C-alpha cells in the first residue's frame, strides 16, 4: 500500500499523469479532444459544437455545485466561490458573445433551406436564450447577484430573529431590481412586468394564464380543506413512525429508486441538508436525500421526488444532443411535474406501497414493520393539515401556499402591494385560506429564501408542476392498462416508457403548454389535479 499514492502537485499535467500512474485508468483527454476543439462542418454543426462545449463547461460547474452541497469541507467555501465565479463568467461570456450571435445567424440561414423541425426548434430556442441573456446589461447582472448574495445573508438573520423590518430594505431592493430586469427583457404587449420574470422559469407562460388556472384550483381546494377539518376520521401518522437505522434507510431508498427507474449506473444518491437533484450531464445525474431516525417514509418520498427530477434528466437525449435545447428541460414546471409524479402520484399511492412495503420488510426486517399495512402508509402519507410552513405541507394545501405567494409577489411587482405591507397581506391570506393565525413572521412571510435571492416569478412553477403532472397522469392512465396493479407488482417500466416517449425525449422542442396539449389532448387546467386531490381526500377522510 505504500506507493499507490497520488498527490496534487504544482502542475496539473503532472497530476493527470500521476492519476494515470496510480489507477491505470486512461483519462485519455488528449487522445479524444474536447468535442469542439476542431470546429468543422456546416453552420449548424458549428453552432451545436460550440453549444456542446459551453454545456461541457456548464456540466463542470454542475459537478462542483453538487459537490459544494453534498460534500465540500467547510473551509473550502471561499475557493469554491472563486471557482464558481470564474466558470460562470466564462460560460456567460461565451454564451453571449458576438461570435455566438454570428453562429446563430449562420445556422439559421443554413436551416432555412436544409433544416427539419428539430433543427429549427433547436435554433429557435438557442436564439431565445442568447437574446434574453444579451438583454441584461452586465451592471444589472452584477447588481442582481450582489443583492441576492447580501439579501440572503440579511434574510437568514431576519428569519432567525423573526424580524421583518430587518429584511424590508432587501425585499424592497429585490422587487425594484426585478422590475428593472423585467424592463430590460421588455414587457409583452398587453402584459405585465411579472410576465417577463416568469418567463425565466416558465417560458411562454403569462401571469394572466397562471391566474386563470390557479383561480379555479383555489376555489376547489379551500372547501376541500374545510371538509378535511370537519371530518371525524383522523388518520394516525404514528402508525408508521418507526425508528430505523439510517444505513438501512439508505439501502431502502437505493432499492426503490432503482426499481422505479432511476439508473444508478448513470447516477448517485447522497445526503445533504437540502435535498436536490443535479443533472450534471450525459451519464451523470445525482440527487441527495435527507434522513432522520423515524422518518423512513418521509425520506423515501423525498428521494422519490428527487428521483423524479433525476429520471427526467436521465431521459433527456443528452448522449447525442448535449448542449442543444432539444436535450434540455422545458421549464421548471415540467421538471417539477416529473418529481411530483414520482413523489405524489406514485409514492403516495396505495398501489405503490403494496410493492414497497415488502421491500421495506426485507431491508428493515419483518419485525420492524410488524402491523404496518399499505393502507396505513397510504393514509399516513396523505394526511391533510393546514400548516404555516410551505415545505412541510401536504400535497393538497401546498398549492394554497403557492397561490398566496404568486398573488403577493405579482402585486409587489405591479406596485399594488408595498413591500412594507407584506406581513399584513400574508397573514390575512393565511387566515382566510388556511384558518391559521401567524404570530411570528418566521412562520409567515420570512419562511422562504426566494425573494431574498431575487427569485421572483419562480413560485408558480411548483403548482404548475402539480397541474401538468395530474394531466399527464390521467392521459397516461388511458394508455397503460392496469397501471395500479402494475405498480403494486413493482413494474414501473411502462410508466417510465410513457414518460420517456411523451415528455423526456422531447427536450425543448415544444413549449410546456404545447407539449401538454399534444400529450393529453387538452388545454392546461387544474381539473385533473382537483380530481386527484378529491379522490385522495375521499379515501382518507371519507
- Residues 506-525 close enough to bind a second copy by CB under 8 A: 508
Shortest distance, position 74 Cβ to a second copy, whole Å: 5
- Kindly tell me which of 349 and 488 has the beta carbon lying closer to a second copy: 349
For residues 123 and 451, give the distance between their C-alpha atoms in angstroms, rounded to a whole number: 33
335 binds a second copy, rule: CB under 8 A: yes
User: Got the DSSP string for 120-138?
Assistant: HHHHHHHHHHHHHHHHS-H
Q: Which of 43, 47, 104, 148 binds a second copy (CB under 8 A)?
A: 148
Number of residues in contact with a second copy under rule CB under 8 A: 143
String of contacts with a second copy for each residue 151-180, x by CB under 8 A: -xx-xx------------------------
CA distances from 117 to 49, 326, 518 (A): 19, 11, 16
34 binds a second copy, rule: CB under 8 A: yes
User: Got the DSSP string for 9-58?
Assistant: -S-HHHHHHHHHHHH-----TTTS--TTSS--SSHHHHHHHHHHHHHHHH
Region 348-367 residues binding a second copy, contact defined as CB under 8 A: none
Region 464-503 residues binding a second copy, contact defined as CB under 8 A: none
Sole window of 115-123, 149-157, 362-370, 479-487 interacting with a second copy (rule: CB under 8 A): 149-157
For residues 443 and 172, give the distance between their C-alpha atoms in angstroms, rounded to a whole number: 20
Shortest distance, position 100 Cβ to a second copy, whole Å: 14
Q: Which of 49, 86, 429, 533 binds a second copy (CB under 8 A)?
A: 86
| 3-class secondary-structure state, position 93 | helix
Q: Which of 50, 129, 354, 407 binds a second copy (CB under 8 A)?
A: 129
Region 205-234 residues binding a second copy, contact defined as CB under 8 A: none
- Kindly tell me which of 269 and 488 has the beta carbon lying closer to a second copy: 269
Sole window of 9-17, 253-261, 430-438, 477-485 interacting with a second copy (rule: CB under 8 A): 9-17
Region 414-433 residues binding a second copy, contact defined as CB under 8 A: none
Give me the catalytic one of 53, 278, 306, 354. 306
Select from 196, 262, 297 the least CA-distant residue to 504: 262
Shortest distance, position 467 Cβ to a second copy, whole Å: 14
DSSP-derived pairing of the beta strands 277-281 and 284-289? antiparallel
Q: 234-238: list long-range contacts, CB under 8 Å, 24+ apart.
A: 235/379, 235/380, 235/382, 235/383, 235/540, 235/541, 236/376, 236/379, 236/380, 237/380, 237/383
Beta bridge partners of 277: 287
Shortest distance, position 370 Cβ to a second copy, whole Å: 26
Q: Which of 249, 302, 350, 509 binds a second copy (CB under 8 A)?
A: 302
140 binds a second copy, rule: CB under 8 A: no
Enumerate helices (H) and strands (E) in the chain, giving the number of each: 22, 3
Sole window of 215-223, 298-306, 357-365, 476-484 interacting with a second copy (rule: CB under 8 A): 298-306
- Cell numbers found for residue 256: 426503490
268 binds a second copy, rule: CB under 8 A: yes
Shortest distance, position 332 Cβ to a second copy, whole Å: 7
For residues 337 and 502, give the distance between their C-alpha atoms in angstroms, rounded to a whole number: 13
- Kindly tell me which of 203 and 419 has the beta carbon lying closer to a second copy: 203
Name the CA dihedral angle for 222, 227, 229, 232, rounded to a multiple of 10 degrees: -170
Q: What is the residue whose three cell numbers read 418567463? A: 199
For residues 423 and 174, give the distance between their C-alpha atoms in angstroms, rounded to a whole number: 16
- Kindly tell me which of 86 and 538 has the beta carbon lying closer to a second copy: 86
Sole window of 41-49, 111-119, 221-229, 279-287 interacting with a second copy (rule: CB under 8 A): 279-287
- Kindly tell me which of 153 and 479 has the beta carbon lying closer to a second copy: 153
For residues 83 and 72, give the distance between their C-alpha atoms in angstroms, rounded to a whole number: 13
176: annotated active-site residue: no
274 binds a second copy, rule: CB under 8 A: yes
- Kindly tell me which of 235 and 488 has the beta carbon lying closer to a second copy: 235
137 binds a second copy, rule: CB under 8 A: no
User: Got the DSSP string for 252-287?
Assistant: HHHHHHHHHT--GGGEEEEE-SS--EEEEETTEEEE
Q: Which of 39, 41, 42, 85 binds a second copy (CB under 8 A)?
A: 85
- Cell numbers found for residue 118: 428539430
- Kindly tell me which of 116 and 139 has the beta carbon lying closer to a second copy: 139
Q: Is the dihedral of CA 53, 500, 307, 207 positive or negative?
A: positive
String of contacts with a second copy for each residue 430-459, x by CB under 8 A: ------------------xxx-xxxx--x-
Select from 164, 191, 111, 84 the least CA-distant residue to 452: 164
Residues ≥6 apart with Cβ < 8 Å to 160 = 442
String of contacts with a second copy for each residue 39-78, x by CB under 8 A: --------------x--xxxxxxxxxx-xxx-xxxxxxxx
Q: What is the residue whose three cell numbers read 448522449? A: 319
- Kindly tell me which of 34 and 243 has the beta carbon lying closer to a second copy: 34
Shortest distance, position 481 Cβ to a second copy, whole Å: 29
Are 61 and 87 contacting, i.e. CB atoms less than 8 angstroms apart?
yes
Sole window of 12-20, 116-124, 226-234, 469-477 interacting with a second copy (rule: CB under 8 A): 12-20
Select from 468, 448, 467 the least CA-distant residue to 459: 448
For residues 258 and 331, give the distance between their C-alpha atoms in angstroms, rounded to a whole number: 25
Q: Which residues are catalytic?
A: 306
Amino acid at each position: 500500500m505504500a506507493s499507490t499514492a497520488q498527490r496534487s502537485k504544482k502542475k496539473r499535467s503532472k497530476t493527470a499523469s500521476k492519476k494515470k500512474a496510480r489507477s491505470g485508468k486512461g483519462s485519455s483527454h488528449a487522445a479524444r479532444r474536447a468535442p469542439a476543439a476542431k470546429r468543422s462542418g456546416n453552420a449548424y454543426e458549428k453552432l451545436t459544437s460550440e453549444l456542446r462545449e459551453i454545456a461541457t463547461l456548464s456540466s463542470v460547474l454542475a459537478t462542483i455545485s453538487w459537490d459544494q452541497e453534498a460534500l465540500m469541507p467547510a473551509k473550502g467555501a471561499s475557493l469554491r466561490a472563486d471557482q464558481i465565479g470564474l466558470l460562470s463568467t466564462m460560460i456567460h461570456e461565451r454564451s453571449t458573445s458576438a461570435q455566438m450571435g454570428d453562429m446563430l445567424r449562420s445556422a439559421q440561414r443554413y436551416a432555412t433551406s436544409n433544416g427539419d423541425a428539430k433543427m429549427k426548434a433547436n435554433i429557435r430556442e438557442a436564439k431565445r436564450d442568447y437574446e434574453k441573456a444579451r438583454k441584461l446589461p452586465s451592471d444589472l447582472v452584477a447588481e442582481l447577484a450582489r443583492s441576492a448574495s447580501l439579501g440572503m445573508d440579511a434574510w437568514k438573520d431576519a428569519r432567525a430573529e423573526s424580524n421583518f423590518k430587518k429584511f424590508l430594505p432587501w425585499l424592497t431592493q429585490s422587487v425594484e431590481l426585478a422590475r428593472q430586469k423585467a424592463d430590460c427583457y421588455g414587457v409583452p404587449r398587453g402584459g405585465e412586468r411579472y410576465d417577463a420574470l416568469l418567463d425565466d422559469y416558465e417560458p411562454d407562460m403569462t401571469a394572466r394564464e397562471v391566474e386563470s388556472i390557479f383561480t379555479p384550483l383555489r376555489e376547489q381546494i379551500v372547501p376541500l380543506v374545510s371538509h378535511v377539518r370537519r371530518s371525524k376520521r383522523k388518520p394516525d401518522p404514528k402508525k408508521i413512525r418507526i425508528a430505523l437505522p439510517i444505513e438501512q434507510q439508505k439501502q431502502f431508498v437505493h432499492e426503490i429508486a432503482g426499481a422505479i427507474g432511476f439508473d444508478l449506473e448513470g447516477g448517485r444518491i447522497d445526503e445533504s441538508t437540502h435535498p436536490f437533484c443535479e443533472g450534471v450531464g450525459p451519464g451523470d445525474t445525482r440527487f441527495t436525500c435527507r434522513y432522520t431516525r423515524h422518518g423512513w417514509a418521509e425520506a423515501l418520498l423525498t428521494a422519490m421526488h428527487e428521483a423524479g427530477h433525476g429520471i427526467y434528466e436521465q431521459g433527456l437525449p443528452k448522449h447525442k444532443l448535449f448542449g442543444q435545447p432539444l436535450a434540455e428541460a422545458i421549464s421548471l414546471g415540467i421538471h417539477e411535474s416529473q418529481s411530483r409524479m414520482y413523489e405524489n402520484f406514485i409514492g403516495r399511492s396505495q398501489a405503490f406501497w403494496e410493492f414497497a412495503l415488502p421491500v421495506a420488510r426485507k431491508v428493515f426486517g419483518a419485525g420492524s414493520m410488524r402491523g404496518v399495512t399499505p393502507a396505513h402508509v397510504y393514509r399516513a402519507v396523505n394526511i391533510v393539515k393546514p400548516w404555516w410552513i410551505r415545505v412541510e405541507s401536504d400535497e393538497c394545501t401546498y398549492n394554497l401556499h403557492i397561490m398566496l405567494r404568486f398573488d403577493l409577489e405579482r402585486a409587489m411587482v405591479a406596485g399594488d402591494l408595498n413591500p412594507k405591507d407584506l406581513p399584513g397581506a400574508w397573514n390575512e391570506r393565511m387566515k382566510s385560506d388556511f384558518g391559521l393565525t401567524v404570530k411570528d413572521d418566521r412562520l409567515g412571510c420570512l419562511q422562504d429564501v426566494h425573494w431574498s435571492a431575487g427569485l421572483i416569478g419562480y413560485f408558480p412553477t411548483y403548482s404548475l408542476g402539480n397541474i401538468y403532472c395530474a394531466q399527464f397522469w390521467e392521459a397516461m392512465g388511458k394508455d397503460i392498462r392496469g397501471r395500479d396493479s402494475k405498480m403494486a407488482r413493482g413494474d414501473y417500466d411502462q410508466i417510465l416508457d410513457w414518460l420517456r416517449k411523451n415528455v423526456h425525449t422531447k427536450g425543448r422542442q415544444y413549449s410546456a403548454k404545447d407539449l401538454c396539449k399534444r400529450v393529453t389532448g387538452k388545454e392546461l387546467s387544474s381539473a385533473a389535479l382537483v380530481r386527484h386531490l378529491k379522490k385522495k381526500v375521499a379515501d382518507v377522510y371519507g
